[in-house]
Amino acid sequence: MSTKDAALEALSQALRLEQEGRAFYLQAAKDTVDEKGQAMFQSLADDEAKHANMVQRQLHAIEGGGGYVLLPDIQVPDIDLGRKLFPPDADAIRGAADQATNELEVLHMALDNEMRSYDLYCEAAKATTDEAGRAMYAWLAQAEMEHFDLLMSNWESLTAMGGWV
């Protein structure tokens, strides 16, 4: 597979994940009764829209025969691209979520979505030799990690019989 084809495949996959994530979060915001939960899901949907726009710009640049475009509005994070998001007791967390309320089920699905996006961006960052592409993927991976951490905080709070954070 050519470098261009690999970039187009990664970007197409990323765009699909961001669009699906946005739709998921909009529906979760609509279905969540708690105002803090609604606000969190709406904020995540807004982030996913921004990510999709960023990915779309890169996709158009590469489809047009160019390469990745260095985006002036992002700070490249110092991120460990080999880090996994779920802790070692992930099976226990998944098992608890299987028994949980609808809110926890939604959070579990959201955590899975964020992990898939994070993993894709880490792999794409490691695979590209283009500095602008690597910077974009690292930035997106960092953003997905932050989403994951926010979702996990809420999952932990709700499972401890607390509320949305």
What pLDDT digit, counting tens, does each position of 43-61 carry? Answer: 999 999 999 999 999 999 9
Residues in the chain: 165
Structural domain includes residue 165: no
Alpha carbon distance 153, 11 (integer Å): 29
What's the CATH number where 125 sits?
Answer: 1.20.1260.10
Range of the domain at 80: 3-159
List, in sequence order, the alpha helices (H) in the chain.
3-31, 35-63, 90-98, 102-127, 131-159
What's the pLDDT tens digit per position in 12-52? 999 999 999 999 999 999 988 889 999 999 999 999 999 99
Structural domain includes residue 99: yes
Structural domain includes residue 64: yes
Structural domain includes residue 164: no
Packing angle, helices 102-127 and 3-31, rounded to 10: 160
Per-residue b/e over 71-96, b at no fewer than 16 CB within 10 Å? eeeeeeeebeeeeebeeeeeeebeee
What's the pLDDT tens digit per position in 85-121? 765 455 544 444 444 458 888 898 999 999 999 999 9
Say if pTM beats, i.e. exceeds, 0.75.
yes
**How many domains does the chain fold into?**
1
Mean pLDDT, the chain, as a whole number?
A: 86
Alpha carbon distance 15, 53 (integer Å): 8
Mark residue 4 as left, alpha or beta (left: phi above 0; alpha: psi -120 to 50; beta: remaining).
alpha
Alpha carbon distance 146, 140 (integer Å): 10
